[in-house]
Amino acid sequence: MRIAVVGAGTRCIYLMDLIEKHKFQIVFPTVVAVADIKDDAPGLARARDMNLFVTKDYDDFFARDDIDLIVELTGDLNIYNDILTKKGKNVRAIAHTTALLFWEISGVSSLQEETRQRLQKKQTMYDVMINDMIQEDVMVIASDYRILDVNEPLLKKMGLKQEDVIGRFCYEITHHQSKPCSGEMHPCPLNQVLQTQKPSQATHIHLDKDKNKLHFSISCYPLMENDKVEGVIEVSKDITKDIQIQTSMMQQEKMVSIGRLSAGVAHEINNPLTTILTSSMLLQEDIEADSSMYQELKTISNEALRCRKIVKSLLDFSRQTRPAKVPSNLNHVVMESFVLTRKQAAFNDVTVEANLSENLPHVNIDKDQIQQAVINLTLNAIEATPAGGEVRLSTRHLTDKNKIEVSVRDTGAGISPENQDKIFEPFFTTREDGTGLGLAITHGIVEQHGGTIHVKSRIGEGTSFFIWLPLDTGEDDDA
């Protein structure tokens, strides 16, 4: 690694001594050029003694093809940002705050052996980070929140290039917002380090290049100079899968417990409800239809019927028997659901359309259960869509995921962000006549098929539900 240094003060001397004395294991750095506006700067004198290239104008570096890394040691952030804009594509640059790590991890002979070994490990870790060889997401951030360095795994995850990131604010890149993170639910670990001068940890939600939520465990480690935090090294670990697994396990445990409770309650309530309904209907037969008593009895009958509907939903929710899977054409299942829901759609003045992918591979499913799930989603979409709106059923083969997707989209009012995390919970509903079990039952059916269900919605822009079912067979649909 051939290094050019901007700023030939005592830090430059220290860097040259460090490179000369330290035994590097991964990279083998050497200083090849030094720049400083002061002709009597000590680093320039050392460079001349070593027959290195020296100059007053660091712009001379950009015309050379023998430089791999430019180290800015002036402490002037404007100079560092200027270097970033002018350097070649294959040339890296680090600011003085990042270079401080070299001072901290120098293996000078006066240190005890145990301390030297510990610092050499830090040196190796940083060398690996600079060369993008670790898979954790790493950034070096200045105290003003500007990104000084970033490794390749993080760049790939964000879908960005190094020149798109260096010099920009960290919260702008990882959170797509115009100010630093704050609050109890989203604390800024860099700000905590600045206040305490100690390492800090936090859990954040970042957005990937497709604006999908990713959960990260973030650790920040201070870079100190003269007892002041000049920046941090931020190491982020994607814990999205861990969060999803924990959430899924909690959901399953909750569903099992509520299912048992629901079955017991439903059986206990069903018999007295039948008695109430039968008695009210018999009394109605002996009373004139225009009587006020007749209307009261009719109200009792209607409410008893509504209770029976709720009881039936409870029983459906509690059963959730293991699916009897057979290779099936999912298009046929969706079309049957489409036919069964058209009358309800017409009654609500809502158009229902189907857009099914041709040559869809067969998938192992319990046709009745999957049909129940699709009908649940379709009826919910119809109820959520105002007159004149549209509901669209679609299927497609996700070849990159080896899954089949069924989607139900509506043009309704949408679901608020705070409710999107609750809609699959049993008994959660925003409808006055809803039981809050339809989506819980649908979620259970999909999970028992080894699939996943998720929702995308914005207020005023409608809602889309997506069911992904694993593809267990490569057979093509010949129908």
Extract the tokens encoding 169: 């604010």
CATH label of the domain that carries residue 262: 1.10.287
CATH label of the domain that carries residue 10: 3.40.50.720
- The highest-confidence range among 13-17, 100-104, 338-342, 348-352, by mean pLDDT, is 348-352
pLDDT in tens, 358-401: 889 999 998 888 988 898 899 989 988 999 999 999 999 998 88
Looking at residues 204-230, what average pLDDT do you find?
78
pLDDT at 448 over 80: yes
| Domain contains 476 | no
| Domain contains 95 | yes
Pair (121, 197) in one structural domain: no
CB hemisphere CA count around 155 (13 angstroms): 16
**403-410 β-sheet, strand order:** 351-355, 390-398, 403-410, 463-470, 452-457
pLDDT at 444 over 70: yes
Q: Comparing C-alpha atoms, which of 72, 95, 96, 94 is closest to residue 27?
A: 94
**Do residues 23 and 29 lie in contact, with contact meaning Cβ atoms separated by under 8 Å?**
no
Pair (113, 39) in one structural domain: yes
Pair (111, 208) in one structural domain: no
CB hemisphere CA count around 80 (13 angstroms): 23
**Do residues 52 and 29 lie in contact, with contact meaning Cβ atoms separated by under 8 Å?**
no
Helices and strands (DSSP H and E) totals, the chain: 15, 17
Pair (97, 227) in one structural domain: no
Looking at residues 233-249, what average pLDDT do you find?
78
Pair (330, 464) in one structural domain: yes
Quote the CA–CA distance of 141 and 100 in Å, as a whole number.
13
CB hemisphere CA count around 112 (13 angstroms): 2
Domain closes at, from 220, 238, 256: 238
How high is the pLDDT of residue 381? 92
Domain closes at, from 189, 216, 238: 238
CATH label of the domain that carries residue 200: 3.30.450.20
More confident residue, 179 or 254: 179
pLDDT at 461 over 70: yes
**Do residues 150 and 138 lie in contact, with contact meaning Cβ atoms separated by under 8 Å?**
yes
Quote the CA–CA distance of 388 and 379 in Å, as a whole number.
16
Which residues neighbour 22 within 8 Å (Cβ) at sequence distance 6 or greater?
Answer: 106, 107, 123
Quote the CA–CA distance of 327 and 471 in Å, as a whole number.
10
**Do residues 463 and 457 lie in contact, with contact meaning Cβ atoms separated by under 8 Å?**
yes
| Domain contains 16 | yes
Pair (255, 218) in one structural domain: no
Report yes or no on whether pTM surpasses 0.85. no
Pair (247, 233) in one structural domain: no
| Domain contains 81 | yes
Quote the CA–CA distance of 140 and 230 in Å, as a whole number.
11
More confident residue, 50 or 426: 50
pLDDT in tens, 31-67: 999 999 998 899 999 999 999 999 999 999 999 999 9
Return the amino acid letter for 449.
H
Quote the CA–CA distance of 318 and 441 in Å, as a whole number.
9
The residue range of the domain holding 417 is 326-470
Pair (96, 56) in one structural domain: yes
CATH label of the domain that carries residue 330: 3.30.565.10
Domains in the chain, number: 4
Pair (457, 360) in one structural domain: yes
How high is the pLDDT of residue 317? 59
Extract the tokens encoding 18: 């460090």
Quote the CA–CA distance of 479 and 333 in Å, as a whole number.
13
Helix (H, G, I), strand (E, B) or coil at 298: helix
Pair (296, 331) in one structural domain: no
**pLDDT averaged over every residue in the chain:** 80
Pair (338, 466) in one structural domain: yes
pLDDT at 114 over 50: no
More confident residue, 419 or 370: 370
Instruction: State how beta strands 403-410 and 390-398 pair.
Output: antiparallel
Quote the CA–CA distance of 145 and 172 in Å, as a whole number.
9
The fraction of the chain above a pLDDT of 90, given in percent, is 23
List, in sequence order, every beta strand (DSSP E) within 29-183.
30-35, 53-55, 69-72, 92-94, 137-142, 147-150
Pair (191, 262) in one structural domain: no
Please report where in the chains the tokens 């800090």 appear, as a residue: 200
Domain closes at, from 217, 238, 259: 238
| Domain contains 478 | no
| Domain contains 475 | no
Which residues neighbour 433 within 8 Å (Cβ) at sequence distance 6 or greater?
Answer: 306
Helix (H, G, I), strand (E, B) or coil at 411: coil
The fraction of the chain above a pLDDT of 70, given in percent, is 79
**Do residues 341 and 378 lie in contact, with contact meaning Cβ atoms separated by under 8 Å?**
yes
